Amino acid sequence: TGKCVLAGNWTNDLGSNMTIIMNSKCNFSGSYSTAVSETPEKIEKSPLRGSQNYRNLTQPVFGFTVNWTFTDSVTVFTGQCFVDETGKEVLKTMWLLRSHADSIKDDWTATRVGTNVFTRQP
Ligand SMILES: O=C(CCCC[C@@H]1SC[C@@H]2NC(=O)N[C@@H]21)Nc1ccc([N+](=O)[O-])cc1
């Protein structure tokens, strides 16, 4: 199997786009433009920072945090970069979206979970 590289432009099943820049062998930053949001605020491109693991740089596992600039919430994504049978790079991810709760009594409802698959943005 070929090498799956995180750097570059990706798009996901929701139509969101992200750009990843490798800052070192394992650490990266970039920006995320979500296609969807649950808040009335206008969507803005938001920064992301993350890491891929040291041990396997062919199909690396990774994690990153998107710190939303337009609403009081953060999303953490974690997953793995794969090369599929057709030689295409695919990021299989799961995420947790934490939004701000006004009171500790509302903490139970403040975290959402889901999955996203990313492919190379042509
Ligand atoms: O809506 C938001 C911020 C934008 C989240 C986009 C999510 S990240 C996981 C998934 N993959 C994507 O590409 N896009 C979606 N924050 C938010 C949500 C709900 C509430 N809330 O109060 O319910 C507050 C803020």
Confidence of residue 1 (pLDDT cuts 50, 70, 90): low
Pairwise CA distance, residues 80 & 82, whole Å: 6
User: Stretch 98-116: mean pLDDT, rounded?
Assistant: 98
To test the pocket of ligand 1, the residue of 67, 75, 108 to mutate (highest count of ligand atoms within 8 Å of its CB) is 75
Nearest CA to 6 out of 23, 24, 22, 25 is that of 22
Q: How far is the CA of 96 from the centre of ligand 1 (A)?
A: 9
Q: How far is the CA of 97 from the centre of ligand 1 (A)?
A: 6
To test the pocket of ligand 1, the residue of 16, 97, 103, 117 to mutate (highest count of ligand atoms within 8 Å of its CB) is 97
- State the pTM of this model: 0.97
Q: Above 90 in pLDDT, residue 54?
A: no
| Cβ-based burial of 17 (10 A; exposed 0-12, middle 13-18, buried ≥19) | middle
Average pLDDT of the residues of the chain: 96
% of the chain with per-residue pLDDT over 70: 99
